[in-house]
Amino acid sequence: MTDATLFQPYSLGPLTLANRIVMAPLTRNRAGAGLVPSELAPTYYAQRASAGLIISEATQVSAQAQGYQDTPGIYTQQQIDGWRQVTDAVHQRGGRIFAQLWHVGRISHVDLLGGAAPVAPSAIRAQTKTFVNNAFVDVSEPRALGIEELPGIVDDFRQAAANAIAAGFDGVELHGANGYLLEQFIKDGANQRSDAYGGSIENRARLLLEATAAVAAEIGADRTGVRISPVSPANGITCSDPQPQYDHIVEQLDALGIVYLHVVEGATGGPRDVAPFDFDGLRRRFSRTYIANNGYDLPLANARLAEGKTDLVAFGRPFIANPDLVERLQTGAPLAELNPATLYGGGAEGYIDYPALDADSKQ
């Protein structure tokens, strides 16, 4: 017997979601020429449209924003048209889908940027790897963004949000997590600036908040979400003061009226207790929808919902091998295991060929 709350409809701004299960963003490195979503992408996303909300794979807001091979963009008309095929397919299945907007900052490689250096708040190389030329390699040395360049970054997010709505998305999520550009500005291990975007908690939060405000003004706060990962060490990021930093950020995001806050609780894809942090404090500071993410299974999701500690629950990797994850969770059916060899890159194998439950297994 499962707690029905997870499977009941939920109102998210102007949208009615079929249930409280969110498909988290999942990078699959399968974009085609021009970094247009793969011709297989509409099938992949439509197979998973029973989720209450799908958040798309991370999608770069500009050519400069790319950090991995074969990840899609949303800054050209061809990319917009490609994403329209995806959103139409999801909507035809009764689903809802937001685009995750992404600038990787220093998590990139010169081979992806026409020989240019990746950009960052400060010229500090991340101790991590990226996927380029069909291999995982060390990221390149970044250069520090000039303060005069930052309005352009904000505008890239704004324009990408407008493009996402043109492509038929129901809304967007700004990727402020996992060691990418917006989080690089937030966390002092990557940001050693001495101008208006560095130093204090308020200054380090500035770029995220400016980008969020610009997006909300463009498409509506009720279609704008933000993802954060306060204590995750993903991509070599560190922060000396995560609790006061994120208490401030969440209070400011709440004031902007955005529709949801998507929180990676703990280390991305790793331990939930990686570092002390009061996630419930963030929940109390945010007056609209809180999406909990990281290591959730059915018992934990039910418990957190019952305690009022979250409104929606995001599941990531289980959706890869289980396109009908919602049904499997609801019926208690076993979950299929993913094939790690087909996670990144390739074609249909390990992408659209994971089977749904057959009639016999449903009985």
The catalytic site residues sit at 180
Query: In 20-106, at which residue ranges do the beta strands (DSSP E only) sit?
Result: 21-23, 53-60, 97-102
The token pair at 184 is 């690089």
In the prediction, which pLDDT does 209 show? 98
Kindly report, residue by residue over 31-48, the tens digit of the pLDDT. Answer: 999 999 999 999 999 999
Q: What is the pLDDT of residues 148-165, one digit of tens each?
A: 999 999 999 999 999 999
* pTM score: 0.96
Quote the crossing angle between the two packed helices 201-219 and 242-256, to the nearest 10°.
30
**Residue 156 in contact with residue 61, Cβ under 8 Å?**
yes
Residue 271's pLDDT band, with cuts at 50, 70 and 90, is confident
Q: Are 296 and 21 in contact (CB under 8 A)?
A: no
Q: Using only C-alpha atoms, what is the Rg of the chain?
A: 19
**Residue written as token pair 């998210």:** 12
What is the DSSP secondary-structure string of 316-327?
-THHHH-TTHHH
Neighbours of 241 (CB within 10 A): 12
Specify the 3-state DSSP secondary structure of 280: helix
Written as one string, the DSSP assignment of 168-197 is: T-SEEEEEE-TTSHHHHHHSTTT----STT
Going from the N-terminus, what domains does the chain have, and what CATH number goes with each?
4-362 (3.20.20.70)
Tens digit of each residue's pLDDT (9 = 90 or more) over 220-235: 999 999 999 999 999 9
User: Tokens in use for 197?
Assistant: 């975007």
